[in-house]
Amino acid sequence: MKGVILVAGQGTRLSPLTDHLPKCLVLINGKPILQYQLESLDRVGVQDCVVVVGYKEQQVKHQFGPRFGNVDLTYVSNKHFRDTNNIYSLWVAKKHLVDDIVLLEGDILFEHHLLEDIVHSPYSNIAVVDRFRSHMDGTVVLSEKGFVTSMVLKSQQSTDFDYEPVLKTVNIYALSQATMRECLIPALDTWVARGLTDQFYEAAIAQLVIQGDLQLAIHATGRRKWTEIDTIADVHRAEILFRDIS
């Protein structure tokens, strides 16, 4: 299994921390966000990781170099990070994605046990989810019998959207080699060819689910800790939540 981490974005909501620093290098209890993620990949035995960089990419490369622990790092650059979204970041790395992958966004902290769960799951395609709470923001899913039936991106959630039955995506996915080769990479090619580079990659995944081309199992976080870091308040919340995790 190969890790893929998307860290190209500018992280403007974390200003002033990100004025001179890429978001993935923001410190949580003295350690960069990306370091937590690479440590988790290392602990579960993932030996290769693709890091898609963009904003202040040289800082990321200088910080971590070609290898972290037992994990070989390959950097792919999204040169158009200012004008594109993460669907484009994933697409520019497509030649490295013909493997089973675990896909992470570069602004989440989580217990490494979450990765252990999905690495040892009997399912090939997995979305990690949590129960929805009022402070959460972003893509949600509806599910039935342990599988995603639909994904609703933030832009599709109206003011009267019913959050009661939904689950929040954690932005951790496991996707099989066959899914990448036969479904997701062709879908990314189509979206990019249509000029839809300002979209989230979850839009492409959502379409595959609706079309019946992708059966996506859900894995609930349960008691596993995780948090997304978008704002200064999120940084403070993360430092409290992960203060006992080295």
Contact call for residues 112 and 128 (beta carbons, < 8 A):
no
Q: Give the span between the Cα atoms of 220 and 44, in whole angstroms.
A: 18
The average pLDDT across 79-85 equals: 96
pLDDT tier at 157, thresholds 50, 70, 90: confident
In terms of DSSP bridges, do strands 147-152 and 67-68 run parallel, antiparallel, or are they unpaired?
unpaired
Instruction: Check whether the bond before 16 is cis (ω within 30° of 0).
Output: yes
What does the pLDDT read at residue 246?
57
Q: Which amino acid is at 192?
A: V
Give all strands (DSSP E) within 83-160, no chain letters. 101-105, 108-110, 126-131, 140-144, 147-152
Q: What is the DSSP letter of 122?
A: S
User: pLDDT-based confidence at 154, cuts 50/70/90?
Assistant: confident
Residue 15 CB contacts under 8 Å (≥ 6 apart), including other chains: none
**What's residue 164's pLDDT?**
87
The pLDDT of residue 132 is above 70: yes
- Bridge partners of 49, per DSSP, are 3, 73
Residues 6+ apart with CB under 8 A from 157: 140
Give the whole-number percent of the chain exceeding pLDDT 70: 100
What is the rounded CA–CA span in Å between residue 85 and residue 201?
8
Please state, in angstroms and as integers, the Cα–Cα distance from residue 53 to each residue in 15, 25, 47, following that order. Answer: 18, 12, 19
Q: Is the pLDDT of residue 87 over 90?
A: yes
Class of CATH domain 2-241: alpha beta
